[in-house]
Amino acid sequence: MNKAFLLIICFISATLFAQKPCEYSSNVTDSIGTYKSTKECMMYEKNFAGNNSYIFCSFSLTDGTPTLNLQLIQKSKDFLRANCFDKNSKLFLQLNNGKIVTLLHIDQENCGTMIRDNNGFDNRVLSGTFMFMKGSMEDLKSSPVNLMRIKSLTNTEDYVLKKQFQSEMNNQIYNPETYFMDYLHCVEN
């Protein structure tokens, strides 16, 4: 009886904490070096009063250095304020276990791109690359993330991450809370 109970507990634990298989959008090795990038995952979506905001993340491994790629997309018919990443920009991730993990932006200023679509909407796309600090990857693999704070040159914004949501944009289901636990192993050495 005890062995069967232990076997069931082990099976349930393995199922709950299993990492997802890696899916790469890029996986290149050439004379310059190696580069891998996971497929993007939507971490946040807000659609309200004709204004839309999206945050996408992916992981990259460039010559053995793991990074987090972050893309903020805003869409509106109203004026969209410019937002920039610079060497002082940071990404703070609050974990369910109470820890806060900080990622540092690379030393490259980027204020994004403004694109007007055929429907009269302005679309601002801002991309940034953030580096993991020593020990932060282990923390991110051990606990779900419930809050993302993005500190840029001109603004600091908080985003509450949901356990799961179905995107209004593409009807796909995303699990932002466990994204790091599920896919961070894809860029480990």
For residue 30, the model assigns a pLDDT of 86
Written as tens digits, the pLDDT of the chain (189 aa) is: 555 544 344 444 444 446 789 999 998 988 888 999 999 999 999 999 889 999 999 999 999 999 999 999 999 988 888 889 999 999 999 999 999 999 999 989 999 999 888 888 899 999 999 999 998 999 999 999 999 999 999 899 999 999 999 999 999 999 999 999 999 999 986
| DSSP 8-state assignment for residue 171 | -
* Of residues 162, 161, 186, 171, the one with CA closest to residue 66: 186
- Secondary structure (3-state) at 30: coil
* Of residues 15, 31, 96, the one with CA closest to residue 63: 31
DSSP state string for 31-47: SS-EEEEEPPEEEEEEE
This prediction has a pTM of: 0.86
- Secondary structure (3-state) at 177: helix
Q: Which residues contact 182 (CB under 8 A, 6 or more apart)?
A: 19, 20, 175
Q: Which residue has the tokens 């985003």?
A: 159
C-alpha neighbours within 13 Å on the C-beta side of residue 61: 17
Q: Is the dihedral of CA 87, 93, 98, 99 positive or negative?
A: negative
* Of residues 113, 131, 128, 136, the one with CA closest to residue 69: 128
For residue 50, the model assigns a pLDDT of 86
Provide the pairing of β-strand 165-166 with 145-151.
Answer: unpaired
* Residue boundaries of the structural domains of the chain: 2-187
Phi, psi of 12 (to 5 degrees): -65, -45
Compute the chain's Rg from CA coordinates: 18
